[in-house]
Structure 1
Amino acid sequence: MATDTAADSTDSDPEWGRVLMCGSIDWNNINRKANQKKPGEEGVERPQLLSPHIMRDVIDLKVTAVVTGPTSCHSVLLTLDGDAYVFGRNEKGQLGLGDIETRNSPVKITSCGDSGKALGKSKIVRAAVGRNHTILVSESGAVFSCGDNRLGQLGLNNLVEHHTKVERVSALAKENIKEVACGADFTIVANDKGQLFAFGSQEYGQLGNGSDGQYIKSAGQLVTAPQQYPLPVKGLSGKHIVSVACGANHTIALDKDGCVYSWGFGGYGRLGHGEQKDMHVPHLVAQFASSNELTHASTIACGSTCSMALDRQRQFWLWGKWKNTGDGSSGQPWMIPKYFYDLNGWRFRAISGGNASLFCVAEKEQITIAWGQVQNAELGFGEDSPYKSATKPQKVEPLEGVEILSVSCGMGHTLFLAKPGNDKLADLPKFPEIEDKGDACVKCGKEDDDDKILLCDKCDAPQHMYCANPKLENVPEDDWFCDSCHPPVTSQQALSEEVEEGPSETNNSTSAEDAATVEELSKPKKRGRPPKPVAGANLAGAPAKKKKK
């Protein structure tokens, strides 16, 4: 997960966008040799998404953050309303839905009654995921967790394998947590004072508490003690940490002055200190500590076995093991941060690393760049591309012209948050595919008045504007959803929802939205007709026929 020190917090709403995904959707089999299909799923095909697809099930949500991780086969989506939606692998209950069943489509985490009770009216604004655990942070700084806690990575007292429901981390109740990151089996959080706390696996010193937790259990048997209670990270006294990122077994942190610190597993040079030595406390990375402030870091991120940063000129730096062969591989790892000359001249706004993938989003141009020796099409180069992986940076052609707000790389899949209102974005395919509903209005069954037919942005159902419920006089400017996807809100329903929700837990003042009249709430929002299919360009330059979504 990458965090930018330049992104100052304000009282205005954060940017929101549409969720895109590429890579594998066969959650139970990613990075596994044996097939994990359950009874009844033997004939179910879950193809790879070779290009970024719009996630149809959440197209009507204002999503502000897409969250996954280098060791994760599950993901979290956060919305402007403070809701958390989860999907993917769930063998340890890491989705917090009260069971261990995989979810192929995003599900609101409060749909589980017990998780809903634990969260109450908390507005979730931060999230991080590890191999089999999930951490949520509310607007008020409260921390919640679910999933596997055998190594204490949830910060809960009972070290059990399945925490299938969200629980509050009471040990952090006195802290106002602002940042969070997860490694494979550990968690790092930062409070509003820039202090770090860590819990979970400490086998390689990744908690930064000065110990690896190892002890002799019996003759010849060395084991590592789990650390379920959040402990302060040592060696950062007087430093205000504004961002933290984790690989599988290492951690890097960024302070307000742009200095970078690293600790944990030192294999392949991922700590950036010029040696393959584990560090049990944070050490300053020399590259970002010179007297020239332009060389200090502004953004940090981790892949599974590598680390990366943007300096204050938005240039890209990388260290560790980031490919399987040649320079940058296990045989020739980058022991210290190196300027990535293949990207010379580019300035970036966002970076992310997955299990094997690397992504950079251009600061001004609507261009996304990716590379990595991957196996699940998580680079999203597209159906027309002859490549699924790349050892050198390549443009993600299907996203050219699409403004990407952020990117998050996981195990075998990649999530993007794209700014809405873009014709190129609207032309991307949607997932999952649904049955073609034809050209006739689903209400009256007629195909006449084609200029008055709207296509629902969620289910693609065609309807005449005068057949829609409620009827429309003009073509809406924004997205439009049919009454099957968005049933009209009656005056009584609007009033009941206002009474049931009541004032917010963290803000008792009445906002302009909350003060809207029942009459206004019952009116349809202006929704726009999606553009008709247009021909894009494939990599060979020939027109590519648009497919039904």
Structure 2
Amino acid sequence: MPRKKVCAGLWEEGSGNGAARPKGRKKAGARGRKRGRGDRSSDEDDRDGSPGPDGGLLASGNKRGGAAKSPGKAQALVIITEPEHTKEKIKLEGSKFSGQLLIFGATNWDLIGRKEVPKQQAAYRHLGQNLWGPHRYGCLSGIQVQTVVSGPCAAHSLLITADGKLWSWGRNEKGQLGHGDAKRVDAPKPIESLSSEVFVSAACGRNHTLVLTEGPSLKIKHAASPHVWNQDLAQSLSASTNPPPVKREILYNGQPITKVSCGAEFSMIMDCKGNLYSFGCPEYGQLGHNSDGKFIARSQRIEYDCELIARRIAIFIEKTKDGQILPVPNVVVRDVACGINHTLVLDSQKRVFSWGFGGYGRLGHTEQKDEMVPRLVKLFDFPGRGAVQIYTGSTCSFAVSETGGLFFWGATNTSRDSTMYPKAVQDLCGWKIRSLACGKSSVIVAADDSTISWGPSPTFGELGYGDHKPKSSTTAQEVKTLDGLYIEQVAMGYAHSLVIVRDESEQEREKLKKLPEYNPRTL
């Protein structure tokens, strides 16, 4: 059954929390987005339960039905607004460290996750290569990098320099790089239109990007394709036009935002008061509003009501052994991490909540059921066993406990058994984990003075083991090519890894100079 995503345009004021709630919906028209064969994304060949080209489960072919709903009358969008005199006056700061950026993995950005390069990108077919070991970017010589981001379904990346400037590169078919066009960029390039801003953090989805500026007047820029959500936000582009990609400030006027995170086709933002807001595609209940937004439209098409503006997640629950559902009060969110179709939250009491797509046990609730609202992960709800860090991959989740142990649930290798609830990663017992990132199926960790990675075949160099070395590993292995280098932060895209290396001492700088330099060919 063909599926289609349609963006909801009707809202009414929420009760008590300033959130906008859907009141009805528009008919699926020119602004709806049909997912057909021509709209395949970076994980189009997945067989891991993540959405395929028709939004269904590629592994099982099971397309979930929904009750038919009738469209309503259009109403104005209601934006979350906080009176100016009650807003906190804060100024965000970026990472306190900086260093040199290294890359390894797949760099043919238009081929990543695909069997062949799309026709419109045919000119780039032979650009890029698999880097099996760490390389320095020639264009970043002398540039101190403070933060680097990508995502488990992203074929693009961003970096923030020590002076708060934003650079981007990679796949750009939907304008997710923010350069005002849809041209692929093979090496990091500064975003000139945002050169007057100072940035502190960012997040990458499959085809969209969120970036966060410092205070006191916080802004969020959304670099994405108008054909996904921005077209509907602007309400000014017809279906027949092909406008250039645009950067937009998100429709939000609440408390200052302190954290942003992106799933494949949805986004989360967290304010300084610990409230969490979501917008985008509601499939699998991944927005946390107790609905998957699904309805059956004409010709038996399954469609989804996309949330166009940030809406507060108001309910957190726990389930008892006998199936009773209880609300969890006083949840103050301190961190958020998004996978392709699921989300983890860490609160002020070191509890972990998860919701969204439940396939392969990635939610940690001992079952594969989708969760429509944030549900407490029981393991971390005990004194002395709380979590202090959370991370998400495509089909898995990680948490670092307050005692320093790393816990894993879900699956990195979907052809093997899944881990249905959090289990300690014995290979990393005793390591002090500083940073962790996941790709499509690979994992990289910065711990103590080492870098550790693992991932099943096929890999494309993102593990960093080097030329003429094993290309994959199902167990955690130290990355010997980075021996003697202290890694401040790691990030991973669909099939590439990025690390920030400390370069304070002369010895560290000398070791960095011995690494090969990567200067990609361009058209």
TM-score bin (small chain): 0.7 to 0.9
How far apart are the structure 2 equivalents of 1:130 and 1:348? Answer: 25
Residue aligning to 1:62: 144
How far apart are the structure 2 equivalents of 1:177 and 1:249? Answer: 22
Does the CA contact (< 8 Å) of 1:154 and 1:187 recur in 2? no
Q: Which amino acid aligns with 1:200?
A: G
CA deviation string 1:2-37 (max 9, x = no partner)? xxxxxxx99797211111100011000011012347
Residue aligning to 1:234: 314
2:463 to 358, 361, 379: 379
How far apart are the structure 1 equivalents of 2:211 and 2:122? Answer: 32
Does the CA contact (< 8 Å) of 1:157 and 1:229 recur in 2? no
1:124 to 199, 210, 226: 199
The answer to whether structure 1 residue 147 and structure 2 residue 224 are counterparts is yes
Residue aligning to 2:3: none
Report the CA distance shift for 1:162/1:232 in structure 2 as closer, same or farther (over 3 A): farther
Report the CA distance shift for 1:407/1:14 in structure 2 as closer, same or farther (over 3 A): same
The answer to whether structure 1 residue 108 and structure 2 residue 200 are counterparts is no
Residue aligning to 1:251: 343
Cα shift at 1:413: 0.5
How far apart are the structure 2 equivalents of 1:391 and 1:410? Answer: 19
Output the TM-score relative to the length of structure 1. 0.70
Q: Which amino acid aligns with 1:311?
A: S
RMSD: 2.3
Q: Which amino acid aligns with 1:166?
A: K
Superposition pairs of residues 39-438 of structure 1, within 5 angstroms:
40-41=123-124, 44-110=126-192, 116=193, 119=194, 121-140=196-215, 141-148=218-225, 150=227, 152=229, 156-158=233-235, 164-169=245-250, 171-218=251-298, 220-236=300-316, 238-291=330-383, 293=384, 295-325=385-415, 329=416, 332-362=417-447, 364=448, 366-373=449-456, 374-385=458-469, 387-421=470-504, 422=508, 423-432=510-519
Please state whether the residue corresponding to 1:304 is helix, strand or coil.
coil
Output the TM-score relative to the length of structure 2. 0.74
Report the CA distance shift for 1:25/1:11 in structure 2 as closer, same or farther (over 3 A): closer
Please say which of residues 81-90 and 372-381 is displaced more in the overlay: 372-381
Report the CA distance shift for 1:346/1:153 in structure 2 as closer, same or farther (over 3 A): farther
Cα shift at 1:401: 1.2
How far apart are the structure 2 equivalents of 1:240 and 1:155? Answer: 31
Cα shift at 1:59: 2.6
Does the CA contact (< 8 Å) of 2:252 and 2:309 recur in 1? no
Report the CA distance shift for 1:181/1:136 in structure 2 as closer, same or farther (over 3 A): same
Q: Which amino acid aligns with 1:403?
A: Y
Cα shift at 1:129: 0.6
How far apart are the structure 2 equivalents of 1:162 and 1:94? Answer: 14
How far apart are the structure 2 equivalents of 1:428 and 1:107? Answer: 21
Report the CA distance shift for 1:271/1:65 in structure 2 as closer, same or farther (over 3 A): same
Cα shift at 1:45: 4.7
Does the CA contact (< 8 Å) of 1:150 and 1:226 recur in 2? no
Residue aligning to 2:44: none
Residue aligning to 1:453: none
Look at both structures and tell me which one has the larger radius of gyration over its CA atoms: 1
Q: Which amino acid aligns with 2:247?
A: V
Residue aligning to 2:74: none
Report the CA distance shift for 1:184/1:36 in structure 2 as closer, same or farther (over 3 A): same
Please state whether the residue corresponding to 1:204 is helix, strand or coil.
helix
How far apart are the structure 1 equivalents of 2:203 and 2:517? Answer: 26
Report the CA distance shift for 1:395/1:153 in structure 2 as closer, same or farther (over 3 A): farther
How far apart are the structure 2 equivalents of 1:338 and 1:303? Answer: 16
Higher relative contact order (CA 8 A, sep 6+): 2
How far apart are the structure 2 equivalents of 1:54 and 1:129? Answer: 22
Percent of pairs with identical residues: 35
Structure 1 portions without partners, runs of 5+: 1-8, 111-115, 435-549
